[in-house]
Chain A
């Protein structure tokens, strides 16, 4: 019994460490992708100086951030000012714990993974609000309040659109949801109509264009991050891109079969090979959605605040509720 507990703790520590380490290359890769893809879409060349095709550009950015002065404004509330970036980053990093990267490759195969995930991801809004308040800056405060309003609004359609899948699969565990999709086909087939709502809500939840009011550079300087510099700003930046990765991962896991290949063969790969195969498909699909998000950022203008709220409460909320009822009725009627 004790041995089992120790093994469990060791596994947890190892998995957490690996996930924390994973955030670094993930953020670097996504930042590089964003720089490069947006540049290409704007007919520019993009980063091409640091390393082949500029692939080390974001790493250099990271070192630059490390070298900068970590400045705290005089009037700032020091403890919360220091804690906010940490909180935002940890919310993102902790939510990765329940994502299955490959068969068996999940830090905690929790039976309430979906609930845990959305609960922990929702914590980042607290961090943003604290950052906005502690900075003692009107732009920061506005950014923080906007993030609170926006994320609280979109939590609801985001979660409600997932409940349909939960009803379908009868499970709150991500692993079981993925395995259900191995048998019944990807959930996007079953929940096609609600997927756009989920994707929009997810985009708003992580403050990506066209819903990036929280940072709205042209209105709020940099929103909640206005007063931040050095590595504390770096953590915000990291968290932003890590949560982009996480949102893409959760889209893939819930709707696009997670680590499953798009075709049924090879039916079952076991052991190390199976893990690699799963990892390959998981990351491929996840980065496709990362690309989609970057693509949207290169294309779409920022929505207005009132449009944002209207969309959440007047369109997405009824849509997700209808979807939930219809799914529930079908599941009950046909005994799926």
Chain B
């Protein structure tokens, strides 16, 4: 049982102790806190005591940000996904290199992909619609897009991001980590010589083997755009018959196995470059 009024003396003792305690005031203009050069303030969202984000996705911070560094997505009170602004506007101004933005080592682009490149946007749109624009279907959509275009065009990724309202950075991150290509591969032009000498030495058999292996007829390109097959009567390497020209190099004399090996070699090199074999189109 505390004595009535004893709290007053306890409080007085506390204030007296505080009088001689170290002070918390920072004498700002004279004494400045040491802040690292790269410090840009707190970047993560604050949680409330119940473990929920305190951010209500009201967009106020994004609207007032002078350098438009903030874009955001979240759920409104009805549970609908909502998003502020064009996805990743900030990023576009900084760097158009897809590799660098995906966190991969940057390399000179052989075939620079542009975000505004012309692609079959309708195909991507229909594809996403077919999956009900569900976020869970992202990888399946990627696989279908890569099967269609041979890689994941940035434009397609943006359409996917817009339609599924998955944050652009997440879409791009997912595209960079799977077995997906962000750039079109440079195709190899495989030319089978159809001159008399080559056909006599077995050129027709090689053409049949390549057709079977690549799954395309002469004059066509494989789905992933890696190989284009054509025939030509004037490779001009009669001494090497039967001869096959891949890009600018002429190989010969070849057997069937040899020719297939040349193709496989290039595909393996490409896959190694892309780190993983491309998923087969479903």
Q: Mark A167-207, 1 if CB is under 8 A from B, else 0.
A: 00000000000000000000000000000000000000000
Q: Which of B8, B15, B22, B27 contacts A41 (CB 8 A)?
A: B15
In the assembled complex, B11 has its CB within 8 A of some CB on chain A: yes
In the assembled complex, A267 has its CB within 8 A of some CB on chain B: no
With A40-B18, A41-B18, A43-B18 as given contacts, are A299 and B12 in contact (CB-CB < 8 Å)? yes
In the assembled complex, A45 has its CB within 8 A of some CB on chain B: yes
B23 and A41 form a contact (CB under 8 A): no
A41 to B21, CA, bound (A): 8
A295 and B25 form a contact (CB under 8 A): no
Q: Mark A197-227, 1 if CB is under 8 A from B, else 0.
A: 0000000000000000000000000000000
A296 and B25 form a contact (CB under 8 A): no
In the assembled complex, A298 has its CB within 8 A of some CB on chain B: yes
Number of A interface residues at 8 Å Cβ cutoff, please give it: 13
Within 8 A of B (CB), among A280-334: 295-296, 298-300
In the assembled complex, A37 has its CB within 8 A of some CB on chain B: yes
Chain A contacts of B16 at CB under 8 A? 41, 295
In the assembled complex, B35 has its CB within 8 A of some CB on chain A: no
Q: Which of B11, B20, B22 contacts A300 (CB 8 A)?
A: B11
B23 and A44 form a contact (CB under 8 A): yes
Q: How far is the CB of A44 from chain B (nearest CB, A)?
A: 5
Chain B contacts of A43 at CB under 8 A? 18, 21-25
In the assembled complex, B19 has its CB within 8 A of some CB on chain A: yes
A41 and B11 form a contact (CB under 8 A): no
Chain B contacts of A48 at CB under 8 A? 27
**A36, closest chain B residue (CB):** B19
A295 and B23 form a contact (CB under 8 A): no
Q: How far is the CB of A35 from chain B (nearest CB, A)?
A: 13
Q: Which of B14, B19, B23, B25 contacts A37 (CB 8 A)?
A: B19
Chain A CB count within 10 A is highest, among B15, B16, B24, for B15
Chain A contacts of B18 at CB under 8 A? 40-43
Q: How far is the CB of B20 from chain A (nearest CB, A)?
A: 8
Q: How far is the CB of A174 from chain B (nearest CB, A)?
A: 29
**A48, closest chain B residue (CB):** B27
**B12, closest chain A residue (CB):** A299
A300 and B8 form a contact (CB under 8 A): yes
Within 8 A of A (CB), among B1-55: 8, 11-12, 14-16, 18-25, 27
B24 and A41 form a contact (CB under 8 A): no
Q: Mark B101-131, 1 if CB is under 8 A from A, else 0.
A: 0000000000000000000000000000000
B15 and A45 form a contact (CB under 8 A): no
Chain B contacts of A45 at CB under 8 A? 23, 25, 27
Q: How far is the CB of B84 from chain A (nearest CB, A)?
A: 40
A295 to B16, CA, bound (A): 8
**B24, closest chain A residue (CB):** A43
A45 to B19, CA, bound (A): 10
A44 to B18, CA, bound (A): 10
Q: How far is the CB of A331 from chain B (nearest CB, A)?
A: 30
A45 to B23, CA, bound (A): 6
A43 to B14, CA, bound (A): 11
Q: Mark A23-49, 1 if CB is under 8 A from B, else 0.
A: 000000000000001001111110010
Q: How far is the CB of A311 from chain B (nearest CB, A)?
A: 11
Can you offer 22 A-B residue contacts whose CB atoms are under 8 A? A40-B18, A40-B23, A41-B16, A41-B18, A41-B19, A42-B18, A43-B18, A43-B21, A43-B23, A43-B25, A44-B24, A44-B25, A45-B23, A45-B25, A295-B12, A296-B12, A298-B15, A299-B8, A299-B11, A299-B12, A299-B14, A299-B15
Binding site for B on A (CB under 8 A): 37, 40-45, 48, 295-296, 298-300
Binding site for A on B (CB under 8 A): 8, 11-12, 14-16, 18-25, 27
